[in-house]
Amino acid sequence: MPTPRAYSVKAYSASSAKSPLAATTISRREPGATDVKIDILYCGVCHSDLHFARNEWNFTQYPAVPGHEIIGRVAAVGPGVKKFKTGDLVGVGCMVDSCRTCPDCQSGLEQFCSGMVMTYGSTDKHLGGGTLGGYAQGIVVTEDFVLRIPENLSPAAVAPLLCAGITTYSPLRHWKVGAGHKVGIVGLGGLGHMGVKFARALGAHVVLFTTSPGKTADALRLGAHEVVISKDDAQMAAHAGSFDFILNTVSAALDLSPYANLLKRDGNLVLVGAPEKPLSVAAFPLLFRRRSVSGSLIGGLPETQEMLDFCGRQGITSDIEVIRMDQINEAYERMLKSDVKYRFVIDMASLK
Ligand code: NAP
Ligand code: ZN
Ligand code: ZN
C-alpha cells in the first residue's frame, strides 16, 4: 500500500496511563476523494476521554489523543465530496468510519458495526497506528461521518451534542420516552444534563438523581421537575415503583438495585455510564415486576443528525465552561470531583 500523503497539526496527547496530557504534533492524511478536511474550532471534554487517556478500559494505544465532540469549519474537500463545501460548520462525534455494508450499517446503527472505527482508539487504516481524536487543530474524516451543524446555535455549546447529546437522546428515543412518562436521569454531569434537557423537551416528567445537593437549583433550571438526593433513603423510597424509564449516566460503578426498585412493572433502567468495574444489581427487584436493565451506545449517523436538527429547532445546547488546551489536566481533575457545569469545551484557538 503506498504511504498516503500527510500533513502536521498541533495536538495534545498522553504518552502513558500515568502521564498528563502534553503538547505534541501529529499527522493527518491529506484528504482523499471523499474526505473532508476540518479546522477544529472547539472540542468537548467527555469522561470517556479521561477513561481512555488513563487506559481505564484496557485498550489504549499511546500516544493517545482523546476528543470526540468536535466542531469545526471545512477547510478543504476531496473531489468526490457531495454534501459539504469549504467554510461549512460541521461536527464529528465518536465514529469516523464503519464497514457500510453490514445489517447495522444498513440500518443507520453504525455504532454497533464490528468494523466501526472510533474517532480515537481504533486502528487508523490510512496512516497506521491508532486513530487520534479531536484535541488537535484539525482532522480529516470521510464525508459520511461528518454532521451538519445548525448555524443558529453557539458552536462551542454545540460540541458536547456530538457525544453527550446523542448518547442521551438515542435511548430516550429508542424507548419512546414522551408525555405521560416519569423519567429518571442519574448523575448531573455532561451526559446527565443533556439527558435532563432532552427528557424535558420530549414531554416527560423528569426526576434528576444526584449525589451533589449543591446541583439542585441547576437541575431545576435545566428542566428537571424534581430532584432526589440519591444518598437519602427516604427520598428514594418515596418514588418506589413509579418510573417508566431511568437513564444511568454515572461514570463510576454503583449498585443498581435501589434504582431498579423505583421502576414500574416492565420499566427499564438503561446504562450509558461506562465504569471500568462491573455494576451490581439484585435479582429480586428485576424478577418481581419484570423490570429490565439495558445498555445503549452513542447513536448512529442518521439519528445524530436528527438530534442536531432537533436541537437547532428547539434551541438546545450544552451548558459549558470554555477552557484553553493547556488547562486540560486540571479539567480532568475537576471532572473527577464532579466539579463541572456541565461540560468543559476546549477552545482550539488556544493551541495555535
Ligand atoms: P461526568 O461529566 O464526569 O458526569 C458523571 C456524573 O456522575 C457526575 O457529575 C456525578 O453526578 C455522577 N457521579 C460521579 N461519580 C459518582 C459516584 N462515585 N457515585 C455516584 N455518582 C457519581 O461524565 P460524563 O462525560 O457525563 O460521562 C459519564 C459516563 O458515561 C462515563 O463513564 C463515560 O465514559 C460514559 N459515556 C458513555 C457513552 C455511551 O455511548 N454509552 C458515551 C459517552 C460517555 P452528580 O454529582 O449529580 O452525582
Ligand atoms: Zn464521549
Ligand atoms: Zn457495518
**Range list of β-strands (E), the chain:** 6-13, 22-29, 35-44, 70-77, 89-92, 95-97, 117-118, 138-142, 147-148, 182-186, 205-210, 226-229, 243-248, 263-271, 292-295, 320-323, 343-347
pLDDT surpassing 80 at residue 142:
yes
Give the β-pairing of 182-186 and 89-92.
unpaired
> Hey, which residues does 132 pair with through a beta bridge?
none
Place 293 in a pLDDT band, splitting at 50, 70 and 90.
Answer: very high
pLDDT surpassing 60 at residue 2:
no
pLDDT value of position 4:
74
pLDDT surpassing 60 at residue 303:
yes
- Please state which of the four CATH numbers 3.40.50.10470, 3.40.47.10, 3.40.50.720, 3.30.360.10 is assigned to the domain occupying 165-295: 3.40.50.720
Alpha-carbon distance of 342 to 212, in angstroms, equals 13
Q: According to CATH, where is 3.90.180.10 located in the chain?
A: 6-163+318-351
171 Cβ inside 6 Å of ligand 1: no
Please identify, by atom number, the ligand 1 atom nearest to the C-alpha of residue 342: 2
Which residues, chain by chain, have CB under 5 Å from ion ligand 2? 46, 48, 163
pLDDT surpassing 80 at residue 63:
yes
**Number of helical (H) and strand (E) elements in the chain, helices listed first:** 11, 17
Please identify, by atom number, the ligand 1 atom nearest to the C-alpha of residue 192: 26
pLDDT value of position 1:
52
279 Cβ inside 6 Å of ligand 1: no
For the residues 33-48, what does the mean pLDDT come to?
98
Please identify, by atom number, the ligand 1 atom nearest to the C-alpha of residue 188: 47
Q: According to CATH, where is 3.40.50.720 located in the chain?
A: 165-295
Alpha-carbon distance of 205 to 242, in angstroms, equals 11
For the residues 63-71, what does the mean pLDDT come to?
98
256 Cβ inside 6 Å of ligand 1: no
* Amino acid making up residue 114: S
Alpha-carbon distance of 37 to 139, in angstroms, equals 6
pLDDT surpassing 90 at residue 221:
yes
pLDDT surpassing 90 at residue 324:
yes
Alpha-carbon distance of 297 to 110, in angstroms, equals 10
**6-163+318-351, CATH topology level:** Quinone Oxidoreductase; Chain A, domain 1 (3.90.180)
Distance 189 CA to ligand 1 centre (A): 6
Q: Give the predicted TM-score (pTM) of the model.
A: 0.98
